[in-house]
Amino acid sequence: MKDAKPFEIKQQLVREAYQQVKANQGAAGIDAASIRDFEQKRSDNLYKIWNRMSSGCYLPDPVQWVEIPKTGGGKIPFGIPTVEDRVAQMVVVMTIEPEIEPHFHEDSYAYRKNKSAHQALGKAKDRAYLFHWVVDLDLKEFFDNIDHTLLIKALERHVTCQWAMLYIKRWLMVPYRLAAGRHVQRTKGVPQGSVLGPILANLFLHYVFDEWMKINHSNLSFERYADEILVHCVSLKQAQFIQRLIKQRLADCKLELNATTIVYCKKNHRDIEYDTIQFDFLGYTFKPRRSIDAHGVVFLNFSPAISKTARTKIWSTIRDWNQHYWNYLTLEQIADKINPIIQGWINYYGKYNPRVLKEVLMRINMKLSRWIRNKFKGFRKHKTRAIHRLGDICLTKPHLFAHWSYGVKPTASLRNRKQRAVG
């Protein structure tokens, strides 16, 4: 039959995969073709992907290698596939996910439907209240060090689709292209930034850690979000014991720990003395905090709030907002540009101890007051008057900015602008 293909792949699946890739946007790969470029000949491009995948002759392009600066120093390696490869990878993900997803552990929270970072944080908060000790695990360059042989072994336990396995193996071996144009061959690792990467990384750690814990240490609770892992223990001795075993388990699976910390979850002023009483997890810092109960009694509450690293990143973003460009905009236009960013911070970091986040967001009001001073000559030498003017605007338009609706009013910034954020 003229149109018979070795592999049966529905064209509708390719179209649905493209819609997901389009919704996620993303940068162009080595061919410099953006989503917009792809869209101009969408039907032809999607047919070409379907035809090549169905024929078994789909060969992925090299992955564009970039390094993104990390808050606090260092860089995160990031691989950017072409739009075509992202669509093809999404076709594979949509095919294999139903076979793999049901097997994942209930305390694996990353890259999964109906799972979220907030759920992982909530479990960590509840368990830190019940158990006094936490082992905080930091894997060294996890995505770059995933062993291909072990990963394929895990895939073969679940993936029955022949063509999906064929293309996964090709993507695992595709080289990186560096900025200078040089190609680097890969023998291990899964590129961060690829569509396929999250489910492969999750499956790898499912067998390396989750399933191993379930079989050998089912008495211990943990939360895992990608490669961020917390293990809860009842004593220091138990924490030291499981720390040693996990380190050996990871080494057996060709992974390393960047660092591992045992943390004491102090909840009472009379608790034992221990040097490390806080840890960071998913952008939040867990540590003892002074709280007041319904009867006015002060007590220690081991709880999360936005971390110092996250605060620094937010302040850096605020600082980099182009104030010179803002001089040509109205306050309403500025609000349209920055509200989605502010709302994103509120949605994520406002979940626990929102007071700390509110103090962080006060800097937005200081930035807006500088806009008033630069925009209007009469305010240029009067910081206090500019804040008061911003406060007047807030009274008439209290929902103009997302943080105003959240309760971070300009008058609060005036009273507290010299105070350091706490928490």
Please provide the DSSP assignment of 43-65 as one string. HHHHHHHHHHHHHT---PPPEEE
pLDDT tens for each residue of 24-62:
888 888 888 899 999 999 999 999 999 999 999 999 999
User: Does 373 have pLDDT greater than 90?
Assistant: no
pLDDT tens for each residue of 246-290:
999 999 999 999 889 999 998 887 788 899 999 999 999 999 998
User: Does 400 have pLDDT greater than 70?
Assistant: yes
User: Does 73 have pLDDT greater than 70?
Assistant: no
DSSP run (H or E) holding 84: helix 83-100
Token pair for 199:
């489910």
User: Residue 305 in contact with residue 290, Cβ under 8 Å?
Assistant: no
User: Does 418 have pLDDT greater than 50?
Assistant: no
Token pair for 270:
């009379």
Longest Cα pair distance anywhere in the chain, in angstroms? Answer: 81
**Interval 173-186 mean pLDDT:** 83
Look at strands 298-306 and 176-177 and give their pairing.
unpaired
Alpha-carbon span 250 to 256, nearest angstrom: 6
Among 412, 271, 403, smallest CA distance to 342 is for 403
User: Does 1 have pLDDT greater than 50?
Assistant: no
**Interval 194-217 mean pLDDT:** 96
Alpha-carbon span 219 to 402, nearest angstrom: 44
Alpha-carbon span 297 to 291, nearest angstrom: 8
**Interval 137-157 mean pLDDT:** 94
Q: Residue for token digits 């917009």? A: 36
Which percentage of the chain shows pLDDT scores above 90?
69
Q: What pLDDT sits at residue 72?
A: 59
User: Residue 403 in contact with residue 413, Cβ under 8 Å?
Assistant: no
Alpha-carbon span 387 to 319, nearest angstrom: 18
Residues of the chain with CATH 3.30.70.270: 11-304
Alpha-carbon span 89 to 164, nearest angstrom: 9
The answer for residues whose C-beta is within 8 angstroms of residue 274's C-beta and 6 or more apart is 236, 264, 266
Alpha-carbon span 64 to 78, nearest angstrom: 8
Q: What pLDDT sits at residue 423?
A: 42
- Higher-scoring residue by pLDDT: 300, 391: 391
User: Does 203 have pLDDT greater than 50?
Assistant: yes
**Interval 151-163 mean pLDDT:** 96
HSE (side-chain half, CA atoms, 13 Å) at 291? 14
Residue 417 sits at φ, ψ, to 5 deg, of: -65, -20
For the chain, the first-to-last Cα distance in angstroms comes to 70
Question: What confidence tier does 234 reach under pLDDT thresholds 50, 70, 90?
Answer: very high
Alpha-carbon span 28 to 350, nearest angstrom: 33
**Interval 320-338 mean pLDDT:** 88
CATH architecture of 11-304: 2-Layer Sandwich (3.30)
Q: What pLDDT sits at residue 422?
A: 42
Which percentage of the chain shows pLDDT scores above 70?
95
Q: What pLDDT sits at residue 374?
A: 84
User: Does 318 have pLDDT greater than 60?
Assistant: yes
Q: What pLDDT sits at residue 421?
A: 41
User: Residue 356 in contact with residue 310, Cβ under 8 Å?
Assistant: no
Q: What pLDDT sits at residue 267?
A: 86
Among 372, 356, 370, smallest CA distance to 407 is for 356
User: Does 379 have pLDDT greater than 80?
Assistant: no
- Higher-scoring residue by pLDDT: 342, 411: 342
Average pLDDT, the chain: 90
Angle between helices 308-320 and 354-375 (to 10 degrees): 10
Alpha-carbon dihedral sign for residues 156, 158, 162, 167: negative
**Interval 167-178 mean pLDDT:** 91
- Higher-scoring residue by pLDDT: 356, 298: 356
- Higher-scoring residue by pLDDT: 414, 263: 263
Q: What pLDDT sits at residue 27?
A: 86
